[in-house]
Amino acid sequence: MDDKEIIARRVAQEIRPDTLVNLGIGLPSLVANHLPKEVHVFFQAENGVIGLGARPPEGMEDPDLTDAGGAFVTAVPGAASIDSAMSFGLIRGGHLDMTVLGGLQVDERGYLANWMIPGKMVPGMGGAMDLVAGAKQVIVAMVHTAKGRPKILKECTLPLTARRRVSLIVTEMAVIEPTEDGLVLRETGPGVSVDDILTATEASLIVHGDVPAMRL
């Protein structure tokens, strides 16, 4: 199982039935593949659909039905198409149960930076700031380190996405829950020890007794 699959599988376990979930582009979008068939969830694409479906068969694409990454999709029975005001009204109004987003950095306060690297990458925040400010639960899904350097830091050095403590950080090495007291290590990844995690993490982690391994 590669790192991305570990992360996607573990995040999928967090999704409750009958909720509204927004998956970011890239790694987070893989989470949908690992949802048990019996768990019914509506996925939102912030460009304007509730009830995002699978990719259409070749030749059956509709140019007017894409996900937020611009890829052709379908919609499930019971879907709704909405404009951007409704889409972000849902996100900002607290109607979105969960968002899963990629991350560049997360810090001890649970603050996320994921939208720019000054001087290098200025793509714009898109919907990320609204999602982090507005979703009931924010899950950061990212690999634990970048080129061997920790991404979970004492304090983010990159511009923040929001001043809001995210709900959970899921990497291939660990599940970490930001709390009022700091970052609590909840689970270890496959073949990874608590010490491995501490070494790969700049932020202080709170470790309570034996930390269970992810069950994937």
Partner 1 sequence: MKHALKTQDAADLIPDGATLLVGGFMGVGSPHRLIDAIVAKGARNLTIVANDTAMPGRGIGKLVSAGCVSKIIASHIGLNPETQQKMISGEIDVELVPQGTLVERIRAAGVGLGGILTPTGIGTLVEDGKQKITVDGKEYLLETPIHGDFALLAAYRADYVGNLEYSLTAHNFNPIMALAGKTVIAEPHSIVPVGMISPDSVKTPGILVDHLLERAA
**Residue 39 found at the interface with partner 1 (CB under 8 A):** no
**Residue 161 found at the interface with partner 1 (CB under 8 A):** yes
Closest to partner 1 by CB, 40 vs 190, is 40
**Residue 66 found at the interface with partner 1 (CB under 8 A):** yes
**Residue 40 found at the interface with partner 1 (CB under 8 A):** yes
Question: What character string, x for contact with partner 1 (CB under 8 A) and - otherwise, covers 168-207?
Answer: ----------------------------------------
210 vs 128: CA distance, rounded Å: 35
Q: Which of residues 106-125 bind partner 1 (CB under 8 A)?
A: 111, 121-125
Q: Minimum distance between the CB of residue 173 and partner 1, rounded to whole angstroms?
A: 27
Question: Binding residue for partner 1 (CB under 8 A) from 26, 39, 55, 94?
Answer: 94
| Residues whose CB falls within 8 Å of the CB of residue 26, separated by 6 or more in sequence, listed in order | 102
| Residues whose CB falls within 8 Å of the CB of residue 11, separated by 6 or more in sequence, listed in order | 28, 31, 34, 100, 139, 141, 170
